[in-house]
Amino acid sequence: MRPLQGCRRQCIVLGIVTLCLAAGWALQTQGGVSLLVPQPNINATVAQNILLSVEYSCKGIVSIEWKHVSSWGTNKIVEWKPGSYTNISKSYKDRVNTYENGSIQLLNVGVRDAGYYVVTITEELGTNVYGTIVLSVYEIIYEDLHFVAVFFAFLTAVSAVLVCCMWFCNKSVHLFQNKRDKLKARTAEEIELQTIEC
């Protein structure tokens, strides 16, 4: 009889512990909100469209906020509550798309868009999680090459014009000299003729 009672007590204790653990786990998943940031570093080139990809999981209703932090300061980009409202900052109007999983797409990035992007997912009860993505934006190299090419073309055109001018000037100087020589010759002839007549 005794060993059986002992086992029963043990079973009850084990059951209670299991129940407590299960309840704790249930509470945690119900109250918790988690966030996955698969790509915390993004390299982009100017004028690219980029996806700041995250995925949150939460059973309740959340609000999602994205901020941009750079050496020029902190700017709010967008705040939204899925199925309720979307509030996009004026400076990002027409440049931002939001996705159900909490990600945003940023269109036509510029050098000034480089920096830290901080996403905050706030759950109804007030708990929140943060995620950070670092964005680097590079100038496109061929744009520089393009500029150099244009500059060289301009220089070539200018030198061609200068060469033409010089050629033209040279020609006219020659023409002028020829005329003057002829004139001189003629006057000399005339003078000779006059002296002969005299």
User: Applying CB under 6 A, which residues contact ligand NAG?
Assistant: 36, 38, 41, 43, 51, 53-55, 85, 87, 99, 101, 103, 136
Least CB distance to ligand NAG at residue 120 (A): 14
DSSP code of 8? H
CB of 171 to ligand NAG, least distance (A): 58
φ, ψ of residue 150 in degrees (nearest 5):
-60, -40
Nearer to ligand NAG by Cβ, of 36 and 161: the residue is 36
Comparing CB distances to ligand NAG, the nearer of 42 and 167 is: 42
Question: CA-to-CA distance for 151 and 156, rounded, in angstroms?
Answer: 9
Output 53 or 75, the one with its CB closest to ligand NAG.
Answer: 53
Give the sheet arrangement for strand 62-70, strand by strand: 41-45, 128-138, 115-123, 62-70, 73-81, 85-88
Q: Minimum distance from CB of 51 to ligand NAG (Å)?
A: 6
Q: Which of 123, 64, 121 is nearest to 96 (CA)?
A: 64
Q: Measured from the CB atom, is 3 or 38 closer to ligand NAG?
A: 38
